[in-house]
Chain A
Amino acid sequence: MKKEINFVLNKKGVNITTDPLRRLLDILREDLGLKGVKEGCGEGECGSCAVIINNRIVNSCIVAVGTVEGAEIITIEGYRKTKQYKLLEDSFAEAGAVQCGFCTPGIIIAAETLLRINPEPNENAIRDAISGNLCRCTGYNMIVEGIKIASQKGKGLW
């Protein structure tokens, strides 16, 4: 049975009427057209579908949309309008942290949620922050490097 659900998505109010058990991932991709949110494993293991819900990183494939009533959600599409995103984008390019790019939206979300609570993370903190994100191309070292560069260049930004 359908229910009305309200939340804030990328700073705009959203009102939808749907089955509250549907995955937030499907709502974002299919109903709202936000295809930057990727589906990898579909069971919370790979982090490709990561979004920010109430300031924290969450895997949208294991979120029932009925549980986000009143929540504030940011996806890669909303985040890319920020200065912080631009810096991460440049830093990732400099470090060669993007190859096929499928995991990148989720990794960027993980980097942002790390840097906003810890603007100068050490390597362990970076590796812990991206521990829920799988990348099959880079071997992670370039991603860690990209986040380090962003942290160094972004003094005062986070």
Chain B
Amino acid sequence: MVSAYRPENLKEALLRRKEFRVIPFAGGTDLMVKGRRWSGLAPHFELPVLFIGHLGELKNVELEQNCLRIGSCCTLSYLLENENMPQAIKIALWMFASPAIRNIGTIGGNICNASPAGDTLPVLYAVNASVVLKNTNGIREVPIEQFIKGVGKTVLQDDELLKEIIIPIKSFDTIYYRKVGTRKANALSKISFLGLAKIKNGLIEDIRISFGAVAPTVVRSMEIEDRLKGKTKKYIKQIIPEICSQYSTLIKPIDDQRSNAYYRKIVSLRLLKHFLTKDIL
């Protein structure tokens, strides 16, 4: 059996994707661990892999008038060094794994892996990112929260590849990101929290709040955010217990080897409270 295909370009990659069942393989930082066997042996996968990390068509960042288009196979290091990258994304990337992982790990891989602890996901949800999926017939654009369906589950079809990520351009006054892990580098997140806010004339013009690793997918609530918009900071401070209890019903963490549900819940709500009391002021 063929263990890996290495297409010359995106067109050939999509043809392979149409003809055979394959596992798209970008940086491989997660897949190589997932398929790992004893040292000396090649990793094992149920299906052949399709190398796409080298495809130039998937490695560009383009700044357009209202949005940024990020090729799915851009490495995390490349994005960190890119001058057009929004600050909120850079902050999350800075905390992502280690330099050696960021040098080959890709943003598209982190998205398609759809791990609850995927470190690019809270910020991508918060900035209203969408993903462009391509097959031999054409493309479709899907908002990130509709793309990811659960732990390791996405709506990516067997004949599709994630081509690019679209990020609407928007600036924020406050960016508060915390990743809680056992080690400063390379730790898989126990919890991550991102709060973004834009204040105008003393009122909350825009606010985005997302939590990673506390539910099967990233937790973000447009309804709660909408209720905070247009309010004064003082008013928000008064209703913090109410906001926390609303998020509390959405935060459904689990016990696993990295942490436990009790810790995750308490710490994520404390980070929320900290953001609302300290950081948006």
Contact = CB atoms under 8 A, between A and B. Distances in A.
Interface of A: 1, 3, 19-23, 25-26, 30, 39, 42-45, 47, 50, 53, 56-59, 61-64, 66-67, 69, 110, 113, 128-129, 131-133
14 contacts: A19-B4, A20-B6, A21-B42, A23-B42, A26-B39, A57-B100, A57-B103, A63-B32, A67-B25, A69-B6, A69-B54, A110-B100, A131-B99, A131-B186
Interface in B35-58: 35-36, 39-43, 45, 49, 51, 53-54
Could you tell me the dominant secondary structure of chain A's interface residues? mixed
Contacts of B99: 57, 110, 113, 128-129, 131-132
Interface of B: 1-4, 6, 25, 28-29, 32-33, 35-36, 39-43, 45, 49, 51, 53-54, 77, 97-101, 103-104, 184-186
A89 to B, nearest CB: 21
A26 B51 CA distance: 19
B184 A131 contact: yes
Contacts of B1: 1
B7 to A, nearest CB: 12
Contacts of B104: 53, 58, 62-63
A56 B32 contact: no
Contacts, number: 104
B184 A20 contact: no
A66 B7 CA distance: 11
Contacts of A22: 42
A47 B1 CA distance: 32
B28 A64 contact: yes
Given A39-B39, A64-B28, 13 more contacts: A1-B1, A19-B42, A21-B42, A21-B43, A26-B39, A44-B186, A62-B104, A64-B4, A64-B32, A67-B25, A67-B54, A131-B99, A132-B98
* Residue from A30, A56, A110, A133 whose CB has the most chain B CB atoms within 10 Å: A56
A63 B186 contact: no
Given A23-B43, A39-B39, A67-B53, A58 B3 contact: no
